[in-house]
Amino acid sequence: MKAISLFQKGSHQWLCFGRDPERDEKIIDTNQYMVMNGDQSIILDPGGIELFSQMLTSVLKYTTLDKIKALFASHQDPDIISSLGLWDQCLPNAKLFSPWIWESFLAHFGMNNIKFEGIPDEGSSYQLGNTNLEFIPAHYLHSSGNFNVYDKEAKILMSGDIGAALDEDEAPFFVEDFDAHIPKMEFFHRRWMPSNKAKDDWIANVRKLDIEIMAPQHGGLFKGEMVTEFLNWLERLDVGIAQNK
Amino acid sequence: MSQENNAADTFISVAHVASELFKAQSIAEELSITSKNARALAVRAGSTAAGFNEITRFIEGLSKLTIEAASTVNTIAISQTKIAASLFRTGGFIARLNRVQYEPKEGEAHALAQIFEKVNGEKRHLEQRISASLRDLTDRLDETKMELRATQVVSVVSRVEASRASEDFQDSLNSVADKVSSAGSRINEHLENARRHLAHLN
């Protein structure tokens, strides 16, 4: 599994793990993120069962298990958090931050040790070392209980499935040509995102944030001008259409 | 066979055992109705079928025994399935831990050593529980099979008693004997099937 650093200032760091060359081709490629600050770390959307070994291998290169204080699951999908039962055995004192509505569903993945911290619908925040991470509501994009993570200091928005694209394994981590990227994400957004209203509300909310990097859970990340390009494109897109094209 | 496959094999086999016992229980419930009908028949047949009346108590007993056995086996099977599922998960976790490429830096403790120790301990504990539970299940099946041998005796005695009853009731009483015999065989068949599902796990 490849790893890149998205931001580093002192002990405050954002890492992205993905583009795993050992991944089974049937498994969709996913981006996992880890934020570190001081002696604390949080893993955002830690991924599915099949990626657990590679993720743990990658994570241990940067931190130790006792420093991983929390996991965050933007929503309940298996590619986001089906590894929960495995992390549960490695991180007996950690917390899981996830939309409150998914607590009893996520417990099916195995959650005997990790403490569930339900994020209320309006969002909340988490103090990681000296930095504050905000859980921004993104309900119905696509899941009915869904959050992004915003780091004001790093100017990074981890956007979960918003901005997701089905990219090639060898594609660069960052989107370089927006127009060429559209076909990789258009169908996904039209089909997976059920509500134009939810989409528009989210865009209006996110436009107020100072974002340098928008980091989705699949495919290339958006940096600088690409973030605005993406928001403009998504604004024009009609979503919630079940046409398999 | 890998540990994960062993665990999966266990809960699949145990689910089959529970399913066989469920079928046996349905037959036992039919047997219970047969017994109640037989008792009513014996009362109507009067003094010549008095012996038959006594036999219906045995039939009812056999039915009860099978229903209880099915319930016990079901309880063990559910518990066994839970243990096997935990073992399956633990085995999967160990396999994934084994694939983690990690070397501690010089002077550093192995970050995964404690987890390995804990999870291997859990695995041993689960394996012991599963062995004990399998023995319980096998013993219970064998006991039930032994106790059900009596159905054939009850069937023979029923025929003898039927022959003593007045002619008007003989056919009906023989039919009861047939039903007891058939139910016993069918229950036995399901117990045999259940035993076969467990045979390769012991």
* A90/B100 CB distance under 8 A: no
Q: Give the confidence band of A174 by pLDDT, cuts at 50, 70, 90.
A: very high
Instruction: Provide the pLDDT for residue A106.
Output: 97
Residue A243 confidence (pLDDT) above 80: no
Cβ proximity of A141 and A162 under 8 Å: yes
Instruction: Provide the pLDDT for residue B4.
Output: 56
pLDDT digits (tens, 9 = 90+) for B74-113: 888 888 888 888 888 899 899 999 999 888 888 888 889 9
In chain A, residues with a C-beta closer than 8 Å to the C-beta of B100 are 53, 56-57, 60
Higher pLDDT, residue B40 or A68? A68
Closest-CA residue to A229 (of A240, A241, A220, A217): A220
> Out of 1.10.3720.10, 3.60.15.10, 3.30.70.920, 3.30.420.40, which CATH number does the structure's domain A2-236 have?
3.60.15.10
Number of domains chain B is built from: 1
Higher pLDDT, residue A38 or B105? A38
Instruction: Provide the pLDDT for residue B140.
Output: 87
* A60/B102 CB distance under 8 A: yes
In chain A, residues with a C-beta closer than 8 Å to the C-beta of B99 are 53-54, 57
Q: Which residue in A22, A41, A52, A56 has the most chain B C-beta atoms within 10 A of its own C-beta, making it the best mutation to test that interface? A: A56
Q: How far apart are the first and last CA of chain A?
A: 31
Helices A52-59/B50-98 angle, 10° precision? 40
Please check whether residue B85 lies inside any domain of the structure: yes
Instruction: Provide the pLDDT for residue B5.
Output: 60
Residue A89 is nearest to which of B101, B102, B115, comparing CB atoms?
B115
Residues in chain B: 202
- Determine the residue of chain B that is closest to A86 in CA distance: B93
Q: Give the confidence band of A245 by pLDDT, cuts at 50, 70, 90.
A: low
Q: How far is B17 from chain A (nearest CA, A)?
A: 25
* A89/B99 CB distance under 8 A: no
- Collapse the DSSP code of A211 into the 3-class scheme (helix H, G, I; strand E, B; otherwise coil) and give the result: coil
Residue A218 confidence (pLDDT) above 80: yes
Q: How far is B99 from chain A (nearest CA, A)?
A: 6
Instruction: Provide the pLDDT for residue A152.
Output: 98
Tell me the residue type at A155. K
Q: How far is B11 from chain A (nearest CA, A)?
A: 18
* A89/B119 CB distance under 8 A: yes
- Collapse the DSSP code of A1 into the 3-class scheme (helix H, G, I; strand E, B; otherwise coil) and give the result: coil
Instruction: Provide the pLDDT for residue A203.
Output: 98
Please check whether residue B181 lies inside any domain of the structure: yes
Instruction: Provide the pLDDT for residue A192.
Output: 94
* B100/A110 CB distance under 8 A: no
* A85/B89 CB distance under 8 A: yes
Residue B75's domain comprises: 3-99+110-199
| Sequence-separated (6 or more) residues with CB below 8 Å from residue A150 | A133, A134, A136, A156, A157, A158, A209, A211
What is the DSSP code string of B5-45?
A: HHHHHHHHHHHHHHHHHHHHHHHHHHHHHHHHHHHHHHHHH
Q: How far is A20 from chain B (nearest CA, A)?
A: 14
Q: Considering only residues 117 to 146 of chain A, which have any Cβ-Cβ distance to chain B shorter than 8 Å? A: none
Instruction: Provide the pLDDT for residue B1.
Output: 46
Higher pLDDT, residue A78 or B109? A78
Please check whether residue B104 lies inside any domain of the structure: no
- Determine the residue of chain B that is closest to A51 in CA distance: B96
Residues of chain B with pLDDT under 50: 1
Higher pLDDT, residue A168 or A210? A210
Instruction: Provide the pLDDT for residue A173.
Output: 94
Tell me what the mean pLDDT of segment A162-181 comes to. Answer: 93
Mean pLDDT of chain A: 94
**Domain limits of chain A?**
2-236
Q: How far is B93 from chain A (nearest CA, A)?
A: 6
Please check whether residue B105 lies inside any domain of the structure: no
Does A53 touch chain B if contact means CB atoms closer than 8 Å?
Answer: yes
In chain A, residues with a C-beta closer than 8 Å to the C-beta of B115 are 65, 89-90
Closest-CA residue to B114 (of A5, A63, A91, A59): A91
pLDDT digits (tens, 9 = 90+) for A91-146: 989 999 999 999 999 999 999 999 999 999 999 999 999 999 999 999 999 999 99
